[in-house]
Amino acid sequence: MPAAHITTRVDGHVLHIGVDRPEKRNAFDRGMLHALAEAYDRLATDDDLRVGVVSASGDHFSAGLDLADVGPAIAAGEPFVPAGMTDPFGIWGEPCPKPVVMAVQGVAFTLSIELALAADIIVAADDVRFRQLEVGRGIVPFGGATIRAVRNLGWGNAMRFLLTGEEFGAEEAHRIGLVQEVVPAGEQLAAATAIAETIAAQAPMGVQATLRQSRLSRDVSTDAAIADMHESLVPIMTSEDAAEGLRSFVERRDGVFQGK
């Protein structure tokens, strides 16, 4: 397989995951998909890591899949994401149990949108160009857009870009809720990192339970979210972090949480 072109860097409790193939507009080949899943696995399983930031080098986030490499493999029945690994798309395997913040810029086509729909908070540069163009290539989105776009963005908004393959920019993406913040080009990574660092400073057990229950309510049922809340509430309320939270409140300072 070609070189992975996926980088990782730890800064405190934040794992930075970088897409680094700018000479090909960061198009994903099979090696990159595997390496991205490995990076998400690291975020999922390392207790010292509390939140991930996904970004890309160069002028563009990603032109999508390198179909010359990926297409024949998918047509032959190979898995899109390696079995048993954390799935960045949350469709072919288990999603990451920790929050992911994405920074996108320039061309952000196909799989870029699907990664964004699977992530939790998206910061976009004002020059971003989104496009879900599979229908114009004779194929169908298979990274979750047909599932999440309707649920997250509304039927008409989803159908407009899924069925036409039309390009849309930062303003429209913000209007329909695909992105949560738009910043000048070049500032998207700093803005995403600031959000991630704010999340990382909160109590990890509380953050992960909040994310898990919110996903259960959205994806499964209200009853499933309530059941998880009942099961996790006492362990969280009796944790060392909960005691630290109370101390910090009384002492009028920010809490320093250990995830215990």
Q: What is the pLDDT of residues 191-235, one digit of tens each?
A: 999 999 999 999 999 999 999 999 999 999 999 999 999 999 999
Q: Is 114 a catalytic residue?
A: yes
Percent of the chain topping pLDDT 90: 90
Q: Looking at residue 43, what is its pLDDT?
A: 98
Residue identified by tokens 């700018």 is 22
- Residue 3 reports pLDDT greater than 70: no
Q: Is 134 a catalytic residue?
A: yes
Read off the pLDDT band of 119 (50, 70, 90): very high
C-alpha distances (whole Å) from 226 to each of 129, 182, 222, 234, 236 are 39, 34, 6, 13, 15
- Residue 103 reports pLDDT greater than 90: yes
Rounded mean pLDDT, 224-253: 95
**Type of residue at 160:** R
Read off the pLDDT band of 77 (50, 70, 90): confident
CA distance 79 to 164: 27
Q: Would strands 168-169 and 129-131 be described as parallel, antiparallel, or unpaired?
A: antiparallel
Would you mind telling me the total number of residues written for the chain in this entry?
260
Structure tokens at 31: 């090696």
Read off the pLDDT band of 4 (50, 70, 90): confident
Rounded mean pLDDT, 1-30: 91
Q: Looking at residue 72, what is its pLDDT?
A: 87
Closest CA to 20 of 82, 29, 129, 49: 29
The active-site residue out of 23, 38, 114, 187 is 114
Q: Looking at residue 228, what is its pLDDT?
A: 96
The active-site residue out of 23, 134, 171, 197 is 134
Q: Looking at residue 1, what is its pLDDT?
A: 42
C-alpha distances (whole Å) from 166 to each of 42, 147, 160 are 35, 18, 8
Burial of 126 (0-12, 13-18, 19+ CB in 10 A): middle
pTM, full prediction:
0.94
